[in-house]
Structure 1
Amino acid sequence: MHASSLGVLLVVSLVAGSSAAQGGVMSGNGARRIEIGPDESGVSVAVAVSPGLSTVLLFDSELAQDSIDMDAPKSFSIIDVGRMTLRVVPSAKAAPGEKFRVSVRFRDGAAPPGASFLLTVHPARADNLVEVYRSARSIESYQQEAREARAEALRFKEENARLMSEHSSPGGLAGLLAIGGIDVSGVAGKFVTMTISPDPKSSLQPINVLSYRSKDRVALEVFLSDLRGEKPWTASGATLRGPPGIELKVLRVWQKAPITSGGADRVVIEAEATAEAARGAFSLKLWEADGPRTVTIGNVTFP
């Protein structure tokens, strides 16, 4: 069957079949804000970190740079303490699910005198920028946060409208037309198995990879085998990172059945992307829900 025909069938199955929605991180600063009250210095705030990805804690007060206390510092390739910042990059030694406690103290001695964080290792995601406030904030700061909250609420509203539209639309090809997922150009598809770059450390290896692109969506059909370990593996989430600053918003990760030892099955990934955003080579990373096993495939391209 021609790749474009395969593409139509694939996207139709995504609309008509069951799937799990998964939100993705769009390009931007992605700052997370944390406020620490006078009596909260003993409370550990959870922060997501990931091997090879940078996480920066930005404080509104100067740090006592010689008073940083961190668990297992050898599990991090970078620990950089600045005047008002703490940057960490976990190394490959940090396994998904591991937790590392780090505490800081502030130079001025005011309340709270310090702050504690629980760095939790995720196989693919990290809090890139965490802004930590302990002192009184200006009206402008609250106004900025209100603007960001309204923008986030609007994004949630648009996402909810999209999901409701998909659920209320007909299935099959008519459903694709109803939600605007296809136009007269149809769906383009191509085999990329020969040009991808699998990571030999992955828990499964790709035996066949096909990529597809429609008007404002892309999809991947990844056939995996050679499972390491006896426990069945099911994809729980995915990221698609491209050129610097580009990360596609993953909409769905679908898998019919768990992959078992000695077996093979496919995983389908769908993401939002215009023709412009889909240009260049991407790195796909898949992970399971309750375990450290991941799959990384580099040099993935779309039609």
Structure 2
Amino acid sequence: MAGGASAQGAMSPGNGARRIELGPDDSGALTEITVSPGLSTVILFDSELTQEGADVEGRSIFSNVDVGRTTMRLVPSGRGTPGEKFRVSVRFRDGAAPPSASFLLTIHPARADSVVEVYRNARTVESYQQEAREARTETVRCQEDNARLVSERGAPGGLAGLLATGGIDANGVTGRIVTKTISSDPRNALQPFKAQSYRSTGRVALEVFLSGLRGERPWLVSGAALRGTSGAELKVVRVWQKSPVTSGGTGQVVIEAEATAESARGAFSLKLWEADGPRTVTIGNVTFP
């Protein structure tokens, strides 16, 4: 499974909120916020909003737009196309500078900024301390990822490599055929006809065989997300596809993620997407040994 396209993933919603600071002259500035169909994005403001001053472009593609006193909650529906952008604007009740703020919502097939904090006034010392703690946590995570990559690069291949990097122990790798238990979205660009899941020490993997491509343009996976029923995500570390799937052909996709025996329990939803297009593959009820 080495040498594949790297997917960006998160272990859980504990990555912290995004923070946006508005200066007095930032009314016209557009900050990009990532949203995704079916996922909630909450924007928290430190100033009260005017209900009549909220404007969401393309409102019909959102299944939920809720504007509160200091919050805005957005949930896109499935009618949006990945890559589409929509402008959202709000006005503040007190009239101080900046009197309004605008953001650019960009639809992603599987990723969303779950919480975005917008600071219009001076931030508290506590908020800076929290941001510093989160930055330190992210630095440690990057250092661990780098150490893992260096370790894997210097290790032998095959079974010896798994043993050298601690990928397996005396229990080996367990596998499970999940073809008959998974569910597939009928709107998928491709449909799965065979699926097998695996678990080893600290890792899980899913091997999916796809066919029935919609359209003539070949499909090549760019990223993947594995999300549990609680909303927590496993950290995807590798996505590999042997070759693009063409019309009338089949393809194999392998996804590898970090997971303990505890975090791998239950059912997961897998979402795959291509780099430069809206076509996705969603597979539900994925389980691991």
Smaller-chain TM-score bracket: over 0.9
The amino acid that maps onto 2:104 is L
Spell out, residue by residue over 1:189-237, the C-alpha distance to the aligned partner (whole angstroms, 9 max, x if none): 1111011111111010001101100011000110000000000000111
Contact 2:62 2:77 in 1 (8 A): yes
Residue in structure 2 matching 1:81, options 41, 61, 67: 67
- Number of the residue aligned with 1:275: 261
Gaps of 5+ in 1: 1-13
* Cα separation, 2, equivalents of 1:291 and 1:299: 25
Spell out, residue by residue over 1:99-127, the C-alpha distance to the aligned partner (whole angstroms, 9 max, x if none): 11011111111111111000001111111
Question: Which aligned segments of 4 or more residues in structure 1 are displaced greater than 4 angstroms?
Answer: none
Spell out, residue by residue over 1:72-122, the C-alpha distance to the aligned partner (whole angstroms, 9 max, x if none): 211111110000000011111111111110111111111111110000011
1:223 aligns with 2:209: yes
* Cα separation, 2, equivalents of 1:300 and 1:140: 41
- Number of the residue aligned with 1:26: 11
* Cα separation, 1, equivalents of 2:246 and 2:35: 29
- Number of the residue aligned with 1:7: none
Residue in structure 1 matching 2:280, options 279, 294, 301: 294
1:127 aligns with 2:118: no
- Number of the residue aligned with 2:90: 104
Contact 1:29 1:129 in 2 (8 A): no
* Cα separation, 1, equivalents of 2:191 and 2:254: 15
* Range with bigger deviation, 135-144 or 278-287: 135-144
- Number of the residue aligned with 1:187: 173
* Cα separation, 2, equivalents of 1:23 and 1:202: 21
Q: How many residues align?
A: 288
Shift of 1:29: 4.1
Secondary structure of the corresponding residue to residue 48 of structure 1: strand
Gaps of 5+ in 2: none
Q: TM-score if structure 1 supplies the norm length?
A: 0.93
Contact 1:43 1:115 in 2 (8 A): yes
Matches of residues 1-303 of structure 1 in structure 2 within 5 Å? 14=1, 17-30=2-15, 31-303=17-289
Contact 1:55 1:127 in 2 (8 A): yes
Q: TM-score if structure 2 supplies the norm length?
A: 0.97
Shift of 1:177: 1.1
Seen in structure 2, the aligned counterparts of structure 1 residues 240 and 223 have a Cα distance that, compared at 3 Å, is same
* Cα separation, 1, equivalents of 2:201 and 2:7: 20
Shift of 1:19: 1.7
* Cα separation, 1, equivalents of 2:127 and 2:255: 38
* Range with bigger deviation, 275-284 or 139-148: 139-148
* Cα separation, 2, equivalents of 1:297 and 1:118: 29
